Amino acid sequence: MPDAKRKSDPVAPGLLDQLKSVVGPSGYLEGTADTDPYCVSWRDGWQGATPIVLRPKTTEEVSQIVKLCAEAGVAIVPQGGNTGLTGGGQPHDDMSEVVLTTARMNEVKEIDLENDTVTVEAGVILQKIQELARDNDRLFPLSLGAEGTCQIGGNLATNAGGTQVLRYGNARALVLGLEVVLPNGEVWNGLRGLRKDNTGYDMKHLFIGGEGTLGIITGAVLRLFPKPTATETAWLAVPSPQHAVKLLGHMKSRLGDQVSGFELMQRSIIDFLLSGVPGHEDPLESPHPWYVLAEMTGQGAPDSLSEPFTEALGEAMELGLVEDAVIATSGVQSAGFWKMREDLAEGQKQAAVSIKHDVSVPVSRIAEFLERADAAITEVYPGMRPCAFGHVGDGNLHYNPAGPEAWDGNFYDERETVNRIVHDLVIELGGSISAEHGIGRLRLEENLHYKSPVEIEMMRTLKRALDPKGIMNPGKLITF
Ligand SMILES: Cc1cc2nc3c(=O)[nH]c(=O)nc-3n(C[C@H](O)[C@H](O)[C@H](O)COP(=O)(O)OP(=O)(O)OC[C@H]3O[C@@H](n4cnc5c(N)ncnc54)[C@H](O)[C@@H]3O)c2cc1C
């Protein structure tokens, strides 16, 4: 559905000159050779075009840019590391929108170890925040495959999830304060490091997960946690998703919230990884239908989790929940397991045309979802190759069926039929069609289809109130 407010006129040369003078010579890129990397997405080939990529250095510059664009009614596409998977960070292809990257806003402003917070600009790379926390004997738990490239502003704008949500929550749970440039150019300074602040609507939560449609996040106060001092990681073979869910319950009953990562992987995605991405080896000698990568972390002596974890695993094997296991004996081995997990998306990208879903259902219904979705798609596409992995502790599955081996044509062309089967089932099971990647352009229609009219109208009311001219990332997440 096109966005009624979205203008498609090319940006006027006069405005481009004004924008350039705000950021100075090193603050913008022009010409397709330089702007193209900002116009194409990591996945699914969203390809746009822009006359200019603005690279402001300060919040004040962002504010001036937005004021000029608001006056002219020109749309702005905010961008962080451009690793988003839903086409939310690319401009449309008619040269009517400017791209604003926060790449040069990459300063750590303050680390307060008594308050356990770090204050950063939006363009700081996620991995840098993780390293900074580690160097200060703390943990910043947000962790995902793109962490070496994505920026904290993008993580917050998409309310990113990743592998530690089970214990620490998603990006939303890791923020105490935000600074945002609003669609009229005004700066909202909400950079407060407070755990209690009961003074009205909690405005930061509008912008977290807002995908740049309500304003540009320019800074954040993030929560830090104690750095784990004991870690146990294991690669486990399990007979089925049902067994994986039971195993999760067993581990939680034995080790409580020390269960910090619990990732489910189907054999097919491991095959895609091993054939498509060099540098990986199968951790187990023989193949199994499903695997779990499990991690326990705690605060005791380095080996304090070893015995309880091994015992719990032994019990799980006796119960028939686990068929085979490798417990990492070194940090290098553990990192190797996690690298396999992180590279799954790349493996799938290299190996097969698949139709991707980022869904969540209650953890108790994961097995039912997988069984019914596979059966329903196979009925329409015999020989379909099931492929799923995900954060099973959060009920979040990347359910990415690949076309039959002998499929004649591009299986991706079947996405409408496949999406309908998958998303209808997700909704029937009380789930969500987007668990962590967001909506962007990829799932805009689907979201409008499945969300209740009351919820869509509330979203539109907020959008119209904060961005009456519709200049913030139009055509993404919500239409006017
Ligand atoms: C290999 C790989 C693995 C991934 N794994 C995960 C995963 O496990 N969990 C997960 O949740 N995601 C995952 N992702 C998706 C992606 O990394 C996340 O969505 C990430 O949070 C996006 O950050 P970014 O800086 O790249 O944002 P971008 O891609 O640049 O932007 C994403 C969206 O946020 C908006 N935006 C960006 N910066 C700002 C800002 N400062 N203010 C307002 N809006 C802004 C953009 O307009 C766009 O709509 C993965 C991606 C890849 C490539």
Ligand 1: distance of its center to the CA of 147 in Å? Answer: 10
Question: Which residues make beta-bridge pairs with 139?
Answer: 225
Output the pLDDT for position 86: 93
Ligand 1: distance of its center to the CA of 199 in Å? Answer: 30
pTM: 0.94
CATH T-level topology, domain 230-340 = Alpha-Beta Plaits (3.30.70)
Task: Among 99, 150, 166, 207, say which to mutate for ligand 1: greatest number of ligand atoms within 8 Å of CB.
Answer: 150
Domains 108-226 and 230-340 share a fold: no
Q: Which atom of ligand 1 is nearest to the CA of 160?
A: 11
Ligand 1: distance of its center to the CA of 164 in Å? Answer: 16
CATH T-level topology, domain 352-389+397-436 = Alpha-Beta Plaits (3.30.70)
CATH T-level topology, domain 108-226 = 3.30.465
Domain ranges of the chain: 108-226, 230-340, 352-389+397-436
Q: Is the CB of 476 under 6 A from ligand 1?
A: yes
Q: Which atom of ligand 1 is nearest to the CA of 161?
A: 11
Q: Is the CB of 159 under 6 A from ligand 1?
A: no
Pairing of strands 97-101, 53-54: parallel
**CB of 253 closer than 8 Å to CB of 165:** no
**CB of 328 closer than 8 Å to CB of 259:** no
What whole-number distance in Å separates Cα of residue 112 and Cα of residue 273? 41
**CB of 116 closer than 8 Å to CB of 223:** yes
Output the pLDDT for position 405: 86
Measured by CA distance, the residue closest to atom 20 of ligand 1 is 155
Ligand 1: distance of its center to the CA of 436 in Å? Answer: 10
Ligand 1: distance of its center to the CA of 82 in Å? Answer: 6
Q: Is the CB of 102 under 6 A from ligand 1?
A: yes
Cβ neighbour number for residue 132 with a 10 Å cutoff: 17
Q: Is the CB of 56 under 6 A from ligand 1?
A: no
The distance between the two most distant Cα atoms of the chain, rounded to a whole number of Å, is 73
Of 448, 449, 440, nearest to 476 by C-alpha is 440
What whole-number distance in Å separates Cα of residue 303 and Cα of residue 229? 9
Output the pLDDT for position 2: 57
Q: Is the CB of 64 under 6 A from ligand 1?
A: no
- In tens digits, the chain (480 residues) has pLDDT values of 556 677 788 899 999 999 999 999 999 999 999 999 999 988 767 889 999 999 999 999 999 999 999 999 999 999 999 999 999 999 999 999 999 999 999 999 999 999 999 999 999 999 999 999 999 999 999 999 899 999 999 999 999 999 899 999 999 999 999 999 999 999 999 999 999 999 999 999 999 999 999 999 999 999 999 999 999 999 999 999 999 999 999 999 999 999 999 999 999 999 999 998 999 999 999 999 999 999 999 999 999 999 999 999 999 999 999 999 999 999 999 999 999 999 998 888 877 788 999 999 999 999 999 999 999 999 999 999 999 999 998 999 999 999 998 888 889 999 999 999 999 999 999 999 999 999 999 999 999 999 999 999 999 999 999 999 999 999 999 998
Place of tokens 């969300």: 451
Measured by CA distance, the residue closest to atom 8 of ligand 1 is 162
Tokens of 328: 């990492």
